[in-house]
Structures are given as structure tokens and as C-alpha cells.
Amino acid sequence: MPLYEYFCEPCNGVFEELRPMREASEPVPCPECYKDAKRIMPTSFAAFTFREGYPRRIPDDGKYYHLGKKVTKPVTSGRPNEHPEIDKPEPKKRKLKGEKQEIADMKEAAMKEALHDSSGNLVQPKEVESMVEQGRILR
Ligand SMILES: [Zn+2]
């Protein structure tokens, strides 16, 4: 009997089933949820499959999917709905009090046209903060 591929929509999963050719186009119950899964053509249908318990897209490019987003690793720790590649926003760097004062001082210097960047150009007061963050002003 030939091997066919079936796609279960609720599970977003693909499974293979050995079936007689005349029954190939009929739906097969999904092994996960027992709902009818439709047959797919592996070459023309980019679907999800389960590998190591995580949905992955066919053709398999070695990537995993988490909540519909492409990630390089499955979730191994933390809360199941959080993925380090998706749910951890870059923590916003908080400026220290001293740093704020320093920027204020530099703005003052810039207003007096006394502040220069690392290549010797005059710095405008409104540019001070972003240039400090990018490390373009020698402190
Ligand atoms: Zn299913």
C-alpha cells in the first residue's frame, strides 16, 4: 500500500498513512484529535508537521514554529506560551541619574557650539542623546 500525507487543520499537523490507492482521497481521522484530516500533496502544499512535539513547516527547513511565528529552537523552559525569540522584548535601557546629567551637560555644551563628535563635527543639541547611545560622541 502506498503512503499518503494528510493534514489536520485543528492540530496544524501532518501525518502519514498507509492506504489503498482507491481510498487515498478520503479523509483519515487525525491520530491526535480523531477529526477528519484531508489528504495533501506534499510537493504543492506548505503545511505543518509535528517533529519532536512541535509544529514545523513542510518542506522542513529545520525551523520550528511557535504561535505561528518562525523560531530556531523549540520552547524548552519557562512558560509554554512564551518563546525567548518572540516574547522577550529588548529590555529598555534605563538611564542612570549620572548619565542623564552628563547628557544635559553635553546638550548645554552643544548649544554653545562647543561639542564635537568623534570625527570632529559640531554636534547639534537635539542630536546629543542619540549620538551618545550610538557611541558617536567621545565622553
Ligand atoms: Zn488533529
pLDDT of 66 reads 64
Q: What is the distance in A from the centroid of ligand 1 to the CA of 100?
A: 56
pLDDT of 37 reads 92
List b or e across 99-133, with b for residues whose CB sees 16 or more CB atoms inside 10 angstroms: eeeebeebbeebeeeebeeeeeeebeeebbbebbe
pLDDT of 27 reads 93
Q: How far apart, in whole angstroms, are the C-alpha atoms of residue 105 and residue 98?
A: 10
Name the residue with cell 529552537: 73
Who's near 81: CB < 8 A, 6+ residues apart? 67, 87
Q: For residue 55, how many other CB atoms are within 10 A of its CB?
A: 19
Q: What is the distance in A from the centroid of ligand 1 to the CA of 14?
A: 9
Q: Answer for the pair 15, 8: CB distance below 8 angstroms, yes or no.
A: yes
- Residue 86 or 3, more confident: 3
Q: What is the pTM of this model?
A: 0.33
User: How confident is the prediction for the chain on average, in pLDDT?
Assistant: 76
Q: Shortest CA distance to 69 belongs to which of 82, 51, 59, 78?
A: 82
Q: What is the distance in A from the centroid of ligand 1 to the CA of 28?
A: 10
Q: Tell me the pLDDT tens digit for each residue of 94-118.
A: 767 777 888 888 889 888 888 888 7
- Residues 34-44, mean pLDDT to the nearest whole number: 78
Q: Shortest CA distance to 50 belongs to which of 74, 76, 83, 81?
A: 74
Q: What is the distance in A from the centroid of ligand 1 to the CA of 11?
A: 4
